[in-house]
Amino acid sequence: MAKVEIRQKQAHLRRENKLWPSRLTAVSEDRWCWQLHKPQEVWRSAGFLVQLFQAESGASRMSVNRTMVGNDGRWVDGITWEELMRLKDECGHGHDWAVEVLPPNYQVVDVANMRHLWLLPEAPRFAWKREVTDAKG
């Protein structure tokens, strides 16, 4: 992508980001632009795009990217654990267990600066759990 195209994309996203709230909000399906691998649900905020896909395994995949591109034309990187936890909660999955999978080197697919959380139907056997002392936990 040429530098002028990157600057245009950055300017467009800055304008677009101002139209969205700081917290995630559901995006109506008529505003989706996907052709293949259509998500089940989409949320957007001033800083993030979250898409939920159903996986064959019974888990769902939550794909997250920032809504700004860097000077290299790629989505800005550096999504923190705290941001992932907040986004998972904001799109209604704060009660779900989730894992992030790091594949072996030969299976890496790196086409965009995105993070993918797999929302699980139940806690994995290897999960650390804190002792719950009230009915809310």
Sheet bearing 115-120, strands edge to edge: 25-26, 41-44, 48-54, 60-66, 115-120, 97-99
pLDDT for position 37: 76
Q: What is the DSSP letter of 132?
A: P
pLDDT for position 130: 83
pLDDT for position 108: 92
Q: Is the pLDDT of residue 78 over 90?
A: yes
Report the alpha-carbon distance of residue 129 to residue 137 in Å, rounded: 11
pTM value is 0.87
% of residues, the chain, pLDDT over 70: 94
Dihedral of CA 10/16/19/25: which sign? negative
* Token output for 128: 């650390």
* Token output for 13: 């996203």
Amino acid, res. 11: A
Report the alpha-carbon distance of residue 10 to residue 67 in Å, rounded: 9
- Residue 42, phi then psi, degrees to nearest 5: -140, 140
| Tens of pLDDT, residues 100-121 | 999 999 999 888 899 999 999 9
Q: Is the pLDDT of residue 83 over 80?
A: yes
| Tens of pLDDT, residues 17-49 | 999 999 999 999 888 876 667 899 999 999 999
